Amino acid sequence: MHPKLLRRYTKLETDRKMLLAGLMHTPHDKLNYSPSGRWLVSQILTHLVTSERMSLIYMKKKSQDIDQVGNSSLIESFKLLALKMSQRLPLRYKAPQVLVENTPEPMPLPAVIKKWNTIRMDLYTFPEAMHEENIRKKIYKHPIAGRLDVLQADGVLP
């Protein structure tokens, strides 16, 4: 795997494991509690798993015809920076309809962990076949920032 991708994958995986470790001893009723109409913790986890799965499916599809895909540029870097800055503001974005339609009912924590483990293994093996010259191909599509490359995708993946 490309060294930059390996570092970013390792960081994503460390963050995920810390999150799940913090939730392991959380009572079931707390995972399914909605403070003032907000999402349940179990809904958020299910959304994260679904979002990551669908992002991976899209990247795999786009990488099949990778020679037809353009490279990212400074424009995509600015879009990503603007997106990251907007996420620190109290702005709310609606989830893309395709994600909403493909998100199952909230899953119990053990099911989330099992499914997320499988997706993460797939996410780990996916870029191993990418050649160096394809790392900057825009194979990831963010609903707000648009098309990004695989290195930029980790900045917006859950």
DSSP letter for each residue of 69-137: SPBP-HHHHHHHHHHHHHTTTT---PPPHHHHHH--SPPPHHHHHHHHHHHHHHHHHGGGG--GGGTTB
- Assign 110 a pLDDT band (cuts: 50, 70, 90): very high
Query: According to the model, what pLDDT value does residue 155 have?
Result: 63
- Proportion of the chain above pLDDT 90, given as a percent: 42
Q: What is the pLDDT of residues 59-98, one digit of tens each?
A: 999 999 899 999 999 999 999 888 888 878 887 777 778 8
Query: According to the model, what pLDDT value does residue 61 have?
Result: 93
Which residues have C-beta within 8 Å of that of residue 34, sequence separation ≥ 6?
40
Q: What is the pLDDT of residues 112-137, one digit of tens each?
A: 999 999 999 999 998 877 788 888 99
For the chain, what is the mean pLDDT? 87
Q: Looking at the chain, how many residues does it have?
A: 158
Query: According to the model, what pLDDT value does residue 104 have?
Result: 87
